Amino acid sequence: MALLKFEDVTVQYPIYNAKSMSLRNKLVQVSTGGVVSQNASSVVTITALNNVNFELRDGDSIGLVGHNGAGKTTLLRTMAGIFTPVSGKITRQGRVATIIELGAGMDEELSGYENIYRMGMLLGSSQAEISAMVPEIENFTELGDFLQLPVHTYSTGMKMRLMFAVGTAVRPEILLVDEMFGTGDAAFQAKAQERMKALIGNARIFVFASHSTDLIKQFCKRVFSLEHGKLVEISL
């Protein structure tokens, strides 16, 4: 059974040496959507998530909406354990995989094969698990002998194939996605969408941050809205 539960979770981060608070306040409000405060030492604190509560179980598929900078990516990273809350409790049961920043950890001086292991380990897979994934990644990318060459020799499209293949190779119980993949030629987009559908179908809990109402209606049964650090469930 998969479980993801937030109990009064608050995430904050400081901005030190803040000057011209009135201007910075406006800029930060626009860029983060969080709540801004300032102490006597002129340390600005952004409250990105404010006492967030929810419980997700097997079969839940959640669309996460909000304006740019509302904190959707912060919430996904907190769900994944990348960000640690300053207060509250998070309960996770099941393997978590994120598709937030494709290619995190890629080193263009290394070969495609070396990057498969490098990125895979950063995503939490063991060497044995990555070795088992390699044939599928080879088949999906269709890069052939290029996988033996340094990534800096790749075109942008080839790099994207490799990053997407590694990022979607894990089969998690809890899948967190920040926007749907939409880069590359038409043939690769179609192939990537089919791979995403299979990944979503196999996940027990799926959370999808997107600005596309159509995609959320297609993949999600429930919708959460995030604004100024507050999370509420809505209907579309």
Q: The sheet that has 230-234: what strands, in order across it?
A: 96-99, 174-178, 205-209, 61-65, 222-227, 230-234
Among the ranges given (21-30, 182-191, 196-205), the one the predictor scored with the smallest mean pLDDT: 21-30
- In 143-185, which residue ranges form alpha helices assigned H by DSSP? 156-167
* Residue pointed to by tokens 């997407």: 164
The H or E element spanning position 199 is helix 186-202
The residue length of the chain stands at 236
pLDDT at 20 over 60: no
SS3 6: strand
CB atoms within 10 A of CB 117: 18
User: Is the model's pLDDT at 24 over the cut of 80?
Assistant: no
65 located within any domain: yes
What's the structural domain count of the chain?
1
Tens of pLDDT, residues 92-139: 999 898 887 777 788 999 999 999 999 888 877 899 999 999 999 999
In a domain, 193, yes or no: no
CATH number of the domain at 24, please.
3.40.50.300
What is the domain extent for residue 61?
3-95+210-234
30 pLDDT band, cuts 50/70/90, is very low
Q: Tell me if 162 is assigned to some domain.
A: no
Residue 83 main-chain phi, psi, to 5 deg: -105, 140
Question: Token pair for residue 5?
Answer: 């539960």
Assessment of whether the complete model's pTM goes beyond 0.75: yes
The pLDDT score that the predictor gives to residue 228 is 85
What percent of the chain has a predicted confidence (pLDDT) above 90?
Answer: 53
181 within some domain:
no
Stretch 28-38: mean pLDDT, rounded?
Answer: 54
Task: Look at residue 105 in the predicted model and tell me its pLDDT.
Answer: 80
Residue 78 lies in a domain: yes
Residue 153 lies in a domain: no
Confirm if 203 and 176 have CB atoms less than 8 A apart. no
**In-domain check, residue 90:** yes
Buried b (16+ CB within 10 A) or exposed e, 75-93: bbbbbbeebebeebeeebb
Residue 219 forms part of a structural domain: yes
Measured distance CA(49)–CA(39) in Å, rounded: 19
d(CA 6, CA 89): 6
Greater confidence, 206 or 47? 206
pLDDT at 14 over 90: no
Mean pLDDT for 214-221 is: 92
